[in-house]
A = this chain, B = another copy of it.
Amino acid sequence: MMILNNNDLNQFHERYRAHFVNSLSGYKSANLIGTRSLQGDENLSIVSSVFHLGANPPFLGVIFRPHSVRRDTLENIIETESYTINHVNSLIWKEAHQTSARYEENQSEFKETGLEPYYHDDFDAPFVAQSQVKIGLKLREYRTIELNKTVLVIGEIVHVEVPSGAVNEDGYINIERLDTVAVSGLDCYHTTHKLARLEYAKPDKQVSVKQ
């Protein structure tokens, strides 16, 4: 067993610590964020930091790293207040990962990776055509977390496209059937295998599988 305290973690080499700590939260979502600048330049960026923040109103949060590197995506979100979140699936995971390369400012990750922009009349920012779950968001709030200068962006879901057949009667979306992948650490991708859905837990009842 490896037992570590904060001093041990501090002494890790920076890259080692990045891999190690990024693995500790458990599985992460794999999404592509699509934006378009006011000048019309499209941008696409893979992120593993999207998280559920609330269903009513429907909010998603996403964390951006400190302002130390060029971050077109964040700038576009702040400038246009409009962005898309698109599930990465097992047909596009490599192309999705490739969007993390540091392309020049005049290069579009769409063109460079072969992922196709898709526009819906209602919405300014580009979706990813190959993605099976496409979400359009309106920026509601962003703030710097002073502890480490990351930026928390909160958006309201204002547009959703998802194959009807994947939506269960109770509203649950079968994202496994849609081939959505999960991420662990910085660079490991996984498909999933369903164990089961479980019934709402009650104190006086054994946990049971949803039929």
Give A residues with C-beta under 8 Å from B.
1-6, 9, 12, 14-31, 48-61, 63, 85, 87-88, 90, 93-95, 97-104, 107, 112, 120, 122, 133, 135, 140-141, 145, 147-148, 150, 152, 154, 156-164, 167-168, 170-173, 175-176, 180-182, 184-203, 205-207, 210
Residue A182 contacts which of B60, B101, B152, B182 (CB distance < 8 angstroms)? B182
- Contact B59–A147 (Cβ < 8 Å): yes
Contact of A191 among B1, B48, B195 (CB under 8 A): B195
With both chains docked as a complex, state the minimum distance between the C-beta of A139 and any C-beta of chain B, in angstroms. Answer: 11
B9 touches A160 (CB 8 A): yes
User: Are B192 and A1 in touch, CB under 8 angstroms?
Assistant: no
Q: What residues of chain B lie closer than 8 Å to A171, measured between beta carbons? A: 12, 15-20, 23
Using Cβ atoms and an 8 Å threshold, which residues of chain B touch A101?
201-203, 205
User: Whose C-beta in chain B lies nearest to the C-beta of A54?
Assistant: B148
Cβ–Cβ < 8 Å partners of A20 in chain B: 55, 167, 171-173
Report yes or no: A197 in contact with B188, Cβ–Cβ below 8 A: yes
Interface pair B180/A27, CB less than 8 Å apart: yes
Contact residues in B for A168 (Cβ distance below 8 Å): 19
> Is A122 within 8 A of B5, CB to CB?
yes
Taking CB atoms, residues of chain B closer than 8 Å to A185 are 172-173, 197
Contact yes or no, B5 A24, CB < 8 A: no
Note all chain B residues with C-beta closer than 8 A to A203: 101-104, 107, 112
Given A141-B147, A187-B198, A27 contacting B175 (CB threshold 8 A): yes
B2 touching A135 by the CB < 8 A rule? Answer: no
A100: which B residues are within 8 A, CB to CB? 201
A198 touches B94 (CB 8 A): yes
Residue of B nearest to A191 (CB): B193
